[in-house]
Amino acid sequence: MLILSLLSNPIKALGFILGLIIAITVHEFMHGFVAFRLGDPTPSYEGRLTLNPIKHLDPFGTLFLFLVGFGWGKPVLINPLNFKNPRFGELLVALSGPFSNLVVAALFSISLRFGLVEPVASIVSLIIFINLMLCAFNLLPIPPLDGSKLLWIIFPKIDMHQLERVGVSILFFVLIASYLTGYPIFSSIIMPIINFLAKIIGAGNISI
């Protein structure tokens, strides 16, 4: 269990918590910021145009992160009808979250090239990993993850609301199955994506 590993290693725990706070806060803030810039005031009304982590952390999503290493932040409410092009606008909002995590990971990876001493290097590596993990996980085309919005563009007649209800059940089932069986179902899917992204930003092979 991930939480037991963290409890046995204070440095890893610190890096994980910092990475978690940074990754989720930036991810959800960017959803709200892009929606606001595209003409939707809803995130502003909901108080989501802030880098205050308390506004963005979801209790269940955070719990699953500690249990199985995958989770989510509090969804940012938007109204696509406020966009000039609702379908394309919603796609931009969705992809802004994962993209922001990739940018954060890239910025932190630059510091690794200056030969950081331990334990700073380990903490920075964890921050990079968690941002890449959140990026890769949310790019999966499973509703309501951000990547599922691509399906709406490719198949415009899809009932996304119906798919999101089904997708949430699938995600919870897989996450719980991973926890109960100890088999890293999602890890086997997204670790190749994480490693690919890590190489693109020059972070090499990293792990938690």
Q: Which of 23, 24, 26, 16 has the alpha carbon at shortest distance from 125?
A: 16
Helix, strand, or coil here: 144? coil
Contact 61, 29 (CB under 8 A): no
Q: Is 28 a catalytic residue?
A: yes
Cα–Cα distances in angstroms (integers) from residue 63 to residues 96, 110, 176, 177, 192, in the given order: 24, 30, 12, 15, 24
Choose the catalytic residue: 28, 90, 118, 164.
Answer: 28
Alpha carbon distance 183, 185 (integer Å) = 6
Q: Which amino acid does the sequence have at 39?
A: G
| DSSP letter (8 states) at residue 142 | -
Alpha carbon distance 119, 49 (integer Å) = 33
Q: Is 92 buried (19+), middle (13-18) or exposed (0-12) by CB count in 10 A?
A: middle
Catalytic residues: 28
